[in-house]
Amino acid sequence: MDQELVADLYRKMARIRRFEEEAARLYTEKKIGGFLHLYIGQEAVAVGALSVLQDNDYVMTAYRCHGHYLARGGSSRAGMAELLGKETGCAKGRGGSMHFYDVERRFMGGWGIVGAQVPVAAGLAFAEKYKGSDGIAICFLGDGAINIGSFHEGLSLAALWNIPVIFVIENNYFAMGTPLEKTAPTDDLSIRALAYPMARDTVDGHDVFAVRSCIHAAAKRAREQKLPTLIEAKTYRYRGHSMADPAKYRTAQDVDQWKSRDPIKVLGEKLEGLGLKSLREQIDREVEEEIIDAVQFAEESPFPAPETALDYAYV
Amino acid sequence: MSNAMPSETDTQSAVREIPIRDALQEAMTEEMLRDERVFLVGEEVGGYNGAYKCSRGMLDQFGPRRVIDAPIAENGFAGLGVGAAMAGLRPIVEFMTFNFSLVAIDQIINTAAKARLMSAGQLSCPIVFRGAGGAAFQLGAQHANSFDSFYAATPGLIVIAPATPYDMKGLLKSAIRDDNPVVFFESELTYGKRGPVPEGEYLVPIGVADVKREGSDVTLISWSKNVFLTLDAAEALAEQGISAEVIDLRTLRPLDAQTVLTSVAKTHRCVIVQEQHEVASYGAYLGHMITNAIFDELDAPVGLVSTLEAPMPYSKALEVVLLPSKQRIIDQVLAVCA
């Protein structure tokens, strides 16, 4: 196992975890408004998937977007400042928690209407194919998004028009507070790919290496054959749907079962197993410093000026 | 609004009479020849040459890469267009009629119109959603909707509703070149309507109204196909000795308030003609805007001729009752001139 790779993936996941923990703290201090959906527990999906993509690939996701933004290389300072609604945020305080952007890195948001990003992401990939580029798109969505029309229309067009896009259902087993068994007749979610049809895969979303190889294969299919893939990544969020949700609809044992093989814990232990305990500790320290710095940066940053409230409505 | 909004130009002298469907076809064809990023997607736009033949010959000319027949999935292909626009293309999304845009309205209002603000200008969405809107003869309630007020109520969108072949062509070309998402209304009833269109390249600027008839006693304001109805009414009023000025708004958002206010300040009376239900309508807003801006210039309250407050019945005996008519315009003008 490549030590550098293990260390890199560990750092990326730990960075998201600490970012989200600090965000939760700032939310309880009422410094963050609106909704705050945390990615804690699901880090291996975004980090594994985006670690095998190219710079010219597009990334789009739903409202639980901090993890994908950070995994794509987004600045923790700009992310934290966005949560606080500051001018220095990754959307200058216009987006908020659900609408992070870093278009320079082709991180295209951050969208709040369940499933609506599916055909839009297909459009990003459509454009790359139209332009003759080898770029593809990856679209993340939750298990709650697979019953809405835009999901089916997006997948249908992607299959019909041979669009180089990867759809990743992050199945965390709850659509807000409704368990999967109440919203889907089978817990095999990628089976829906058969209808369009398109290639499909199912992966353990807590195993960052499994996610990598799964996405790698799908990316190759997209890049070389211009074909879409539907992937189900089985994962879990440790927190509620949003900070407003105490998650009383599940047991502590359920959560503990997933936490027992937490991807960050597992990778940290792997590093130590490789005799790299001091490296792990160093990464933890550096991540801590980065996130504390991000919080300080966000708190000290200015709010947008009131006279700019209508800016960016039009070109 | 773009700072580089093209100005009205007309570099050619030869003028032909062509129908609106051909004017639209010319606009799209010229822009696709000019810019490789422009493509057309929608139901029946390719092999069928357009449900109303607005894209006749375009599949043959440009091929299936750029003239794309879509399955019946408006949310899907509208959303796909929005994504393609964010990635640097300039899609034209045709709705067979805007009645079907409601199943795609989330992509228009929640995605396209908001992308730029939510990303603080990192994203832009240069896309045109075009198609027929409004009642035609006896289409029944579900195919007779006029959604001008719906879309005009959304910041982030440009909303264009021209009447004449000349304006259709010039404004569609401007719409395709604009960097904002544009909703562009046409009408089933006027695709065959002919009018003068120059042979060569010209643009009509977005956000500029046009005085279609000059007059001194009352200002009539309309847009889309009701401009023709309003001009008919103005003609009839002239025979009764009332000189009506007719303003064709052409663009609803942004509104050319200056042209409207200048005219009403001259005539001191105003009637708005709209194929919209009056409650929460564009015309009601316009009346408020005028009253608020130049109350002292008005000699009468602003009159409003609207579609009556019921879904559209099928029978021709009833449809005409709901829709604005020449007689209702005349009656309203006589009321404000009394």
Judge whether B15 and B198 are in contact, CB under 8 Å. yes
| Cα dihedral sign, B31-B33-B36-B39 | positive
Instruction: With CB atoms and an 8 Å threshold, state whether A315 touches B2.
Output: yes
Instruction: With CB atoms and an 8 Å threshold, state whether A157 touches B89.
Output: no
Q: What's the confidence (pLDDT) of residue A225?
A: 98
Whether the per-residue pLDDT at B4 is higher than 50: the answer is no
Instruction: With CB atoms and an 8 Å threshold, state whether A315 touches B85.
Output: no
Quick check: bond before A110 cis, omega within 30? yes
Segment B236-258, tens digit of pLDDT: 999 999 999 999 999 999 999 99
Whether the per-residue pLDDT at A232 is higher than 90: the answer is yes
Q: How confident is the model at residue B227 (pLDDT cuts 50, 70, 90)?
A: very high
Q: Is A303 on the interface with B (CB under 8 A)?
A: no
Whether the per-residue pLDDT at B12 is higher than 60: the answer is no
Q: Is A119 on the interface with B (CB under 8 A)?
A: yes
Instruction: With CB atoms and an 8 Å threshold, state whether A58 touches B87.
Output: yes
Q: Which of B278, B282, B258, B77 is nearest to B185 (CA)?
A: B282
Q: Is A148 on the interface with B (CB under 8 A)?
A: no
Whether the per-residue pLDDT at B185 is higher than 60: the answer is yes
- Fold assignment, B210-337: Rossmann fold (3.40.50)
Q: What's the confidence (pLDDT) of residue B11?
A: 52
Q: How confident is the model at residue A287 (pLDDT cuts 50, 70, 90)?
A: very high
- Give CA–CA dist B243/B239, Å, rounded: 9
Q: Mutating which of B100, B122, B180 best tests the A interface, going by the most A Cβ atoms within 10 A?
A: B122
Q: How confident is the model at residue B6 (pLDDT cuts 50, 70, 90)?
A: very low
Instruction: Give B-chain residues touching A124 at CB under 8 angstroms.
Output: 83-84, 86-87
ipTM of the modeled complex: 0.97
**% chain A with pLDDT above 90:** 98
Which residues between 54 and 113 in chain A have a beta carbon less than 8 angstroms from any beta carbon of chain B? 58, 60, 91-95, 99, 101-104, 108-113
Q: Is B87 on the interface with A (CB under 8 A)?
A: yes
Interacting residues of A76 by C-beta distance below 8 A, sequence separation 6+: A15, A19, A70, A290, A291, A293, A294
User: Which residue spans of chain B are classified as CATH 3.40.50.970?
Assistant: 17-201
Segment A62-107, tens digit of pLDDT: 999 999 999 999 999 999 999 999 999 999 999 999 999 999 999 9
Q: How confident is the model at residue A198 (pLDDT cuts 50, 70, 90)?
A: very high
Per DSSP, the three-state class of B78 is: helix
Quick check: bond before A197 cis, omega within 30? yes
User: Which residue spans of chain B are classified as CATH 3.40.50.920?
Assistant: 210-337
Q: What's the confidence (pLDDT) of residue B1?
A: 39
| pTM for the model | 0.96
Q: Which residue of A has its CA nearest to B87?
A: A124
The residues of B assigned a catalytic role are 74, 143
For A186, counting Cβ atoms within 10 Å of its Cβ (0-12 exposed, 13-18 middle, 19+ buried), the class is exposed
Q: How confident is the model at residue A146 (pLDDT cuts 50, 70, 90)?
A: very high
Mean pLDDT, residues A260-272 taken together = 96
- Give CA–CA dist A44/A235, Å, rounded: 9
Residue indicated by tokens 């999901």: A151
Q: What's the confidence (pLDDT) of residue B2?
A: 41
Nearest to A119 among B2, B80, B117 (CB): B80
Token pair belonging to B73:
């999935």
Mean pLDDT, residues A233-248 taken together = 93
Q: How confident is the model at residue B211 (pLDDT cuts 50, 70, 90)?
A: very high
Whether the per-residue pLDDT at B166 is higher than 70: the answer is yes
Mean pLDDT, residues B273-297 taken together = 98
Q: How confident is the model at residue B14 (pLDDT cuts 50, 70, 90)?
A: confident
Q: Provide the 8-state DSSP code for A168.
A: E
Q: Which helix (H) or strand (E) holds B236?
A: helix B226-239
B17-201 maps to which CATH number?
A: 3.40.50.970
Whether the per-residue pLDDT at B179 is higher than 60: the answer is yes
Shortest CA gap A112–chain B (Å): 9
Judge whether B264 and B294 are in contact, CB under 8 Å. yes
Q: How confident is the model at residue A1 (pLDDT cuts 50, 70, 90)?
A: low
Segment A161-189, tens digit of pLDDT: 999 999 999 999 999 999 999 999 999 99
Q: How far lies B140's CA from each of A21, A251, B145, B279, B327, in Å?
A: 56, 54, 9, 21, 23
Instruction: With CB atoms and an 8 Å threshold, state whether B76 touches A128.
Output: no
In B244-310, at which residue ranges do the beta strands (DSSP E only) sit? 244-248, 251-253, 270-277, 303-307
Residue-range domains of chain A with CATH? 3-300 (3.40.50.970)
